[in-house]
Chains A and B, each alone.
Chain A
């Protein structure tokens, strides 16, 4: 019965040496994925939309469609 004495100390430290960098890497990867998959395309979409946006034209189209209560379509 001469088994070697098992490791009794430093178990959490040993686990953290691997898992802490892993956790940080995973968190940073998730953040980067959201940034480049979601927020950057969204910022570009908004920039594109407003680049050639004519507010007056859109307003007149909406007015003619009859959605406003303050101004009725020009025909009435």
Chain B
């Protein structure tokens, strides 16, 4: 009693809407997300609630007819009853969305954009490569490797003809 008096003094607007009065003391209002909800999922074959909660007069009449013999229901009536209880059919629920095309396109787009960034970096950010990459240095490197007989059985030196000083055919 005192609490309700105090709450009315504070003013309805000042309190958050989650508090309301019931039986003379505050009870939090039931939020919609805490109630059982409807979901179309392959692993939840029978959802917690029907899809349509507020039935129109025709739907109410149909529900009354459903209490009788089901053999008397026409195909359209059975379909209408299904659509009251469920949103999608199994075929509609399991159908693919084609979202993968968007995702793949997005991935390819950003990969391409990254290519631009890398090219710009190569031109404007990085300095020169070391002198060990010049062709003279590389030739001297290769000559030294052949002199040392690197990989003579199956690898580099096995492909070089030492007599005639050229690559084997």
Contact = CB atoms under 8 A, between A and B. Distances in A.
Question: Which DSSP category, helix, strand, loop or mixed, fits chain B's interface?
Answer: loop
A75 to B, nearest CB: 15
Interface stretch (A14-22, A24-32, A41-49): A41-49
A62 B152 contact: no
Contact of A45 (B149, B153, B162): B153
A45 B162 CA distance: 18
A67 B148 contact: yes
A58 B152 CA distance: 11
Contacts, number: 18
Contacts of A67: 144, 147-148
Interface of B: 144, 147-149, 152-154, 158, 162
A39 interface: no
Interface of A: 42, 45-46, 49, 58, 61-62, 65-67
- By CB atoms of chain A within 10 A, which of B148, B153, B158 has the most? B153
A52 to B, nearest CB: 13
Pick the 10 closest A-B CB pairs, nearest first. Answer: A65-B147, A49-B153, A67-B148, A67-B147, A45-B154, A46-B153, A45-B153, A62-B149, A62-B147, A58-B149
